[in-house]
């Protein structure tokens, strides 16, 4: 799907992003925001897993917005340890849902790794968000039980060789909140070589 460059206001900051809308004219498209991995470890919106998530969303006809967190690429500001980034994700969602031709509710907040953690927290707080999709949620490093019990539909995908998202931890979280979980055999935290499988799994889960 064709993406266009956009500038997203987040408080006093401007964030860079790429937005795509379905070309077909018809009912308003549902919106989805995708959050990228950790900025301090080279994470940006130009990431293989972010793009695999986008492919799934495009197959399902979603309008999408990926963006760079504060301090990444051309986005203003500095990294703030997750707090400011959660504000950025909320601002990105509000920006997307304000665009013509995009439904104002039933949205998806998605993310990968650090971005999955941000998506869980931001998505739990926004009434416009119906579904949270998290790839490689770092359950080995943080507790997401509160966000997982927010009443949203939760979709989780992880590799069975992921040290940051251990199979036991992600399974326990899924069972505790009724989330839908898919484990990809052979994949680690970075999903190298497993991008197409990730897209397929997310397409099935989000399209159900």
Across 191-200, average pLDDT: 98
pLDDT in tens, 17-31: 999 999 877 789 999
Indicate whether this model's pTM tops 0.95. Answer: yes
Q: Looking at residue 26, what is its pLDDT?
A: 75
Q: Looking at residue 24, what is its pLDDT?
A: 75
**In sequence order, what DSSP letters do the residues of the chain get, joined into one string?**
--EEEEEEEETTEEEEEEEE--SS-SSPBPEEEEE-S-GGGT--SS-HHHHHHHHHHHHTT-EEEEEPPTTSTT--S---TTHHHHHHHHHHHHHHHTSTTB-SSSEEEEEETHHHHHHHHHHHH-TTEEEEEEES--TTTS--HHHHTSSSEEEEEEETT-SSS-HHHHHHHHHHHT-EEEEETT--TT-TT-HHHHHHHHHHHHH-
User: For the chain, which domains are there?
Assistant: 3-207 (3.40.50.1820)
């Amino acid at each position: 799907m064709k993406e266009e460059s956009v500038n997203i206001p987040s408080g006093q900051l401007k964030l860079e992003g790429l937005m795509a809308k379905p070309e077909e004219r018809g009912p308003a498209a549902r919106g989805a925001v995708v959050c990228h991995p950790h900025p301090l470890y080279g994470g940006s919106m130009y990431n293989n897993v972010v793009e695999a998530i986008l492919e799934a969303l495009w197959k399902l006809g979603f309008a999408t917005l990926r963006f760079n967190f504060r301090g990444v690429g051309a986005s203003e500001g500095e990294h703030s340890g997750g707090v400011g980034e959660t504000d950025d994700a909320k601002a990105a969602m509000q920006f997307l849902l304000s665009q013509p031709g995009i439904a104002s509710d039933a949205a998806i907040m998605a993310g990968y790794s650090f971005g999955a953690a941000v998506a869980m927290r931001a998505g739990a707080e926004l009434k416009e968000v119906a579904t949270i999709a998290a790839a490689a949620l770092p359950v080995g490093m943080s507790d997401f039980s509160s966000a997982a019990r927010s009443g949203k539909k939760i979709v989780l995908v992880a590799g069975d060789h992921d040290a940051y998202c251990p199979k036991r931890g992600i399974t326990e979280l899924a069972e505790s909140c009724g989330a839908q979980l898919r484990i990809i055999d052979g994949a680690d935290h970075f999903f190298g070589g497993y991008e197409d499988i990730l897209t397929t799994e997310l397409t099935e889960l989000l399209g159900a």
